Amino acid sequence: MPPDHLPEASEDGAPASEASFSGRPVRLLTFSTLYPNAAMPSHGVFVENRLRHLVTGGEVGATVLAPVPWFPFAHPRFGAWARHAAAPGAEQRYGLTVLHPRYIALPRIGLHTNPYTLYRASRRAIAAWLGRGGEFDLLDAHYLYPDGVAATWLAQEFGVPVVITARGSDTSLLPRYRRPRRLIQEAIRRADALIAVSAALKDGLVELGAPPGKVTVLRNGVDTATFRPPADRATERAALGFPDGPVIISVGLLIERKRHHLTIEALRDLPGHTLLVLGEGPLRGELETLAARLGVADRVRLLGGKPHEELRRYYGAADVMVLASSREGWANVLLESMACGTPVVASPAWGSREAVSAPEAGIVLDETTPASIAAGVRALLAEPPSRAATRAHAERHGWGPTTQGQLDLFRRLLRRT
């Protein structure tokens, strides 16, 4: 649904973006349904983290438009839908204004209707915000579908350039569906620039029709001040109630794509090892049943979701972190674990070999099965790298290059607008 008209030019006929080089910061409107809110503080935290580092230097200012699905009831028995209902209409997070307009996400058919309902709700919200004095030079959108699709329509509507960041399943999974694929390819054509969070993801965008020169690879970084080794691992392990013996952690939503079941199955070949799973989601019951059926329930702890900043305690106290995901654009948990001194065993998902690029970082599996996970854990723990070396590897992946890359890209786009 492209907009049916373009906005009128300003009174002096100059596009708003020309003012971005008059000495003031570039004004972004960051647009994403993957963004934390007071009711879901870990939802899309990777988008927030990148933006927080971008605005720190003062060269960019940002307002965030983070729509959430409309739902009428906030009672906890409605699960994730209730948390959407509990999200505030607007809030301040880390000094940024975050707006949460509601859009209709229809059960069963939302895959096909969400771009349209998201566009309509966001169009109204932006118009109202502009009416209150809001201004922006560029639309900074995250996730190709439905967000990126709606973002290209909004950019045309309001006469600004749009940059879309692709992050994983929006490039690998959603294009398997005929209508989403057509709209994704349309968004790729309409976008002024694309960002991929790994080189492998860039290849996926090119396969979908993106000109290589249109795609900039800007990997997610890691905040090494937040994620750092504990002062005393033994004390931290005792404080967290870790058992004796090797402790494996796995961090991520309890959903099919994360494949926690493979790591649970791997425990059959890892006697004496304990698995801690940090995350929440719909598969919790299935994972508990699986652990009981395999006879490893006493060595599997499903700890639920944890605040993002608290994860460092678990990373730093564990012996190894396992990521078994089938699809990832760039898994932040890999660098977070390494920054805390803990090496990783990772599936060969997009971005894994770019993050785990040296022996001190850990191991990337050729295939992800319970047997290969168990073998990877045994190999890594038989000759563990120095935790200082693992930490040093992560320190090479700070946010600085990503922030500079965004600044350069945004300036370049605004100069040609």
Confidence of residue 20 (pLDDT cuts 50, 70, 90): very low
The pLDDT of residue 15 is above 70: no
pTM above 0.85, yes or no: no
Contact 396, 356 (CB under 8 A): no
Tell whether 356 is covered by a domain.
yes
Tell me the two tokens of residue 270. Answer: 């890892």
| Mean pLDDT, residues 159-167 | 96
Q: What is the DSSP string of 202-229?
A: HHHHHHTT--GGGEEE------TTTS--
Examine the domain organization and report whether 78 and 216 are in the same domain: yes
Does residue 8 belong to any structural domain of this protein? Answer: no
Q: Kindly state the tokens that stand for 279.
A: 């995350």
Percent of the chain, pLDDT > 70? 94
Give bridge partners of residue 321 from the DSSP assignment. 249, 344
Give the residue numbers spanning the domain of 203: 16-221+399-416
Give me the residues paired with residue 98 across strands. 64, 91
Tokens encoding 332: 């932040």
- Regarding whether 372 and 318 lie in a shared domain, the answer is yes
**CA of 203: how far to CAs of 186, 206, 380, in Å?**
17, 5, 30
* CATH number of residue 273's parent domain: 3.40.50.2000
Per-residue pLDDT averaged across 87-102, rounded?
96
The residue-averaged pLDDT of 357-383 equals 96
Are 7 and 28 in contact, with CB atoms under 8 Å apart?
A: no
Residues 315 and 352 in one domain: yes
Mean pLDDT confidence for 209-216: 96
Q: What proportion of the chain, given as a percentage, has pLDDT over 90?
A: 76
Residue 9 has a pLDDT of: 30
Extract the tokens encoding 314. 């678990």
pLDDT-derived band at 373 (thresholds 50, 70, 90) equals very high
At 214 the pLDDT is: 97
Q: Are 301 and 264 in contact (CB under 8 A)?
A: no
**How many CB atoms within 10 Å of residue 116?**
17
Three-state secondary structure call for residue 57:
coil
Are 380 and 411 within one domain?
Answer: no
Task: Identify whether 322 is part of a domain.
Answer: yes
Residue that the structure tokens 């691992």 belong to: 233
CA dihedral sign, ordered 391, 54, 93, 111: negative
Same domain, 303 and 411: no
Q: Is the pLDDT of residue 271 over 80?
A: yes
What is the number of domains present in the chain?
A: 2
Taking the C-alpha atoms of residue 275 and residue 287, their distance in angstroms, rounded to an integer, is 12
CA-CA distances (angstroms) from residue 134 to 28, 126, 202, 224? 11, 8, 33, 34
Of residues 392 and 110, more confidence is placed in 392
Give residue-wise pLDDT tens across range 321-337.
999 998 777 788 999 99
Q: Is the domain of 190 the same as that of 326?
A: no
- Name the band, by pLDDT with cuts 50, 70 and 90, for residue 61: very high
Are 127 and 271 within one domain? Answer: no
Of 228-232, 301-305, 307-311, 360-364, least confident by mean pLDDT is 307-311
Q: Is residue 2 part of a domain?
A: no
Task: Name the average pLDDT for the chain.
Answer: 91
Q: Are 319 and 412 within one domain? A: no
In a domain, residue 9? The reply is no
